[in-house]
Structure 1
Amino acid sequence: MILLPAGYELRDGADPVAAHAYLTHSYWSPGIVLAKIETAIENSLCVSIYFNGEQVAMARVVSDYSVFAYLADVYVLKEHRSKGLAHAMLLSLQAHPRLQGLRRWILFTRDAHEVYARTGWQPLDNPERAMKLDFPDAFK
């Protein structure tokens, strides 16, 4: 069981409108439209944290449920940070029955390495093996 501070509730799924309100202003998806968030949530395994009926945090995983998972769009609203909410969402996802036995999980972060390290995440052993195909203006 994952313990949260009083008043917080961990739920499966996510509210696309609440997620969009945050993500459209995030450094990783500025300007993303609501329809893209709706599609992303529909095609992912998501968890969210609610406080007084409002979604204040979210995390989602894109996976084939066999060998690979990509953790994305992890956020906690500023006024709810430093309460262990991201940690709780990570533990919940990492323990999810559909995500057991995977060979590899991956994520990208600019500034939250220590948050992920608390649940076992490590830097890539061989970053020179990684490649990407980026379309930075996709949301414009």
Structure 2
Amino acid sequence: MLYDKDTLLQKGYIIIGNQTQLDYDYIHAKLSTTYWAKKRSFEATKTAFENSFVKLVLHHDKLVGFARLVTDYAIFGYLADVFIDESHRGNGLAKWLVSELLEDPKTVNIKKIMLRTNDAQSLYRQLGFGIAPDPERNMEKIHLNI
């Protein structure tokens, strides 16, 4: 196991999948501090989370982390916006959060899940991710005016 779930639960952490608990102000404020979403608008963040499969980390009922999966629930998923509040890092929460998201009955049978990261490769390797084969086959289209 990559984290001690029982210890985290005893410390008051829980992971939920309830989208009604989304605090868009908090999520947008935190993502605005990241390299990948610092220029994302509030509306774009809200729309992205509303249209994704989301898991949240709560500490004594206060939101301290989140992650989302953009998916069709069968063939493909894209893991995005994994975030743990700075004051709660170092406890294994990101590992637990991503594990809970990927092991959920709704997502466990998705054939391929991809992600992009500049600095967390070691975390994702521990969760079974690896370098995508044939990177020359991967393409993307970016709308620069958005």
Identical aligned residues as a percent: 31
Listed one character per residue, the Cα deviations across residues 78-132 of structure 1 (whole Å, up to 9, x for unaligned) are 1111111110111111111111322210000000001111111111111111111
Residue 24 (structure 1) aligned with residue 32 (structure 2): yes
Which residue, out of 33, 43, 47, partners 1:39?
47
Which residue, out of 97, 112, 126, partners 1:89?
97
Distance 2:144 2:93 in 1: 29
Q: C-alpha displacement at 1:9, in angstroms?
A: 1.5
Residue of structure 2 equivalent to 1:116: 124
Distance 2:122 2:89 in 1: 14
Distance 2:54 2:74 in 1: 17
Q: Please, what TM-score do these two structures have when normalized by structure 1?
A: 0.89
Write the letter of the residue equivalent to 1:59. A
The count of residues paired between Structure 1 and Structure 2 equals: 137
- TM-align CA RMSD: 1.6
Listed one character per residue, the Cα deviations across residues 42-89 of structure 1 (whole Å, up to 9, x for unaligned) are 100100111233211110000011100000000111111111111011
More displaced 10-residue stretch of structure 1: 112-121 or 44-53? 44-53
Residue of structure 1 equivalent to 2:12: 7
Residue of structure 2 equivalent to 1:75: 83
Write the letter of the residue equivalent to 1:40. A
- Give structure 2 stretches of 5+ with no counterpart: none
Distance 1:76 1:136 in 2: 28
Which residue, out of 66, 70, 78, partners 2:74?
66
Write the letter of the residue equivalent to 1:9. I
Listed one character per residue, the Cα deviations across residues 9-32 of structure 1 (whole Å, up to 9, x for unaligned) are 211133222111111221011132
Which residue, out of 114, 135, 138, partners 1:127?
135
Q: Please, what TM-score do these two structures have when normalized by structure 2?
A: 0.86
